[in-house]
Structure 1
Amino acid sequence: MRITQSATIRSATLAAALMLAGASFAMPVQAEEAASPWPAGAEAYIISPADGATVKSPVTVLFGLKGLGVAPAGVEKAKTGHHHLLIDTDLPKGDELNDPLPADAHHIHFGGGQTQTTVELTPGKHTLQLIMGDAGHVPHNPPLASKKITITVE
């Protein structure tokens, strides 16, 4: 997007006038100006087990990642992140995307850059989903997450 000097001057004049009038003013962010934390086409996905699979515990979960790299927690490197496995829970939303993901039975961290795990699951239906986190375990907004899958443990 190209902004001319006269357009910038007009915007600044309008902003000053609104502020003097006591109005709150914010310049709109253009979509092309917003920097995505991930390259176009980046994708996180679960390789195994397959959606709808019936498995035995312990369950081995293989992580897939396309279009970006894996870096351990604490390593600040552009276009990288590390996996978190969500078990029987939903993706964070809204303000939750500004905070590190919790570390509990429903949010498993792989800050060492691991790309697979084995988890003990009780018999019954379970959901699994991957979400990428930055060096501090904070998901990006919008988050880079896999499709949520459902498996049945015998």
Structure 2
Amino acid sequence: MRPSTRIAFFLLAASAVLPASAQTPPGRTHPWQAPPPRLTAEAYFTNLKDGDRIETPYLLKFGLSGGWGLAPIAQPGRAKSGHHHLLVNRDLPLNFKEALPFNDQYIHFGKGQMESVLTLEPGTYTLRMLLADQNHLPHFVYSKPATITVTKKNPTDPKALSVKGLALQLEGPVVKRPFRVQFHASSLNVAHESQRLPETGHFRLTVSPASGTPAVMDFVEGQTEVWLSPPVGSYSLRLELLDNVTPGEPLVEAVSASVRVVEQAP
């Protein structure tokens, strides 16, 4: 999957309206969830692509596909989890059984972050995302390289670019089934609920039809995207980031979006 500014969500298809109790038990998929079109997992940029020309400071955002989730290095997560790394002018490691180094070309996001502010000087750079486990051993989950040009470095305070909050992104106000939705948390950390780490949370998505019972989906293993295939109709989506220490407690104000779902593409 090519990095893109679009956002994706991973869910499993269903054709029927949900029963009265529509909250998905932890660890279970909801009937409206659909498998992603490509089963290969990827760490990727959500707002940067190969050939882009940017000015710095620049808020770079990360995505993670294939059902994988974020897990900070403080504790092990499940098998399909890890934390992001940004590689600057570096190829993928030749040996995936060696821990990644700590330097300016291998930038670690071991708290479960989903973004970073680039402060690169003007010039050409090749950037790449790579997921690794709590021991910094790489997974085979990475992005294609993106060669970009920094045209100017501005005097903007980098801290001013990252404001605490959530983003819920869709491919548009009208989508065909299945469609991808992606979650983003700024200045907030994402982790498995079971890790119980302070100052981390997990996403909850509530999908409400125009009439009928809302579907509530908890992404307790650090997932940051999902694919959905609900019945045709109009829906409102509400995204929350819930505290992993205090159950049900939101870490920040929720965000909402509306979407109209039409028939599958021929």
Q: By the TM > 0.5 criterion, same fold?
A: yes
Aligned to 1:81: 82
Give the structure with the higher percent helix. Answer: 1
Higher RCO (CA-CA < 8 Å; seq separation 6+)? 1
The CA distance in 2 between the partners of 1:92 and 1:84, in whole Å, is 12
Cα pair distance change 1:99/1:74, threshold 3 Å: farther
Aligned to 1:3: none
Q: Aligned Cα RMSD in Å?
A: 1.2
Aligned to 1:113: 112
Q: What is the correspondence of 1:3-152 to structure 2 with a 5 Å cutoff? A: 40-66=39-65, 67-78=67-78, 79-94=80-95, 97-140=96-139, 143-152=140-149
Structure 1 residue 88: Cα displacement: 0.9
Q: Which runs of 5+ in 1 are unaligned?
A: 1-39
Specify the code of the residue in structure 1 equivalent to 2:107.
I
1:153 aligns with 2:150: yes
Query: In the alignment, is the contact (CA less than 8 A) between 1:74 and 1:136 conserved in 2?
Result: no
Aligned to 1:19: none
Specify the code of the residue in structure 1 equivalent to 2:61.
L
Query: In the alignment, is the contact (CA less than 8 A) between 1:49 and 1:60 conserved in 2?
Result: no
Identity rate, percent: 42
Specify the code of the residue in structure 2 equivalent to 1:104.
N
TM-score by length of 2: 0.40
Query: In the alignment, is the contact (CA less than 8 A) between 1:70 and 1:80 conserved in 2?
Result: yes
Cα pair distance change 1:100/1:74, threshold 3 Å: farther
Structure 1 residue 151: Cα displacement: 0.7
Q: Which runs of at least 4 in structure 1 moved beyond 3 Å after TM superposition?
A: none
The CA distance in 1 between the partners of 2:142 and 2:132, in whole Å, is 10
**Equivalent residue pairs, number:** 111
Q: Secondary structure at 2:46's aligned position in 1?
A: strand
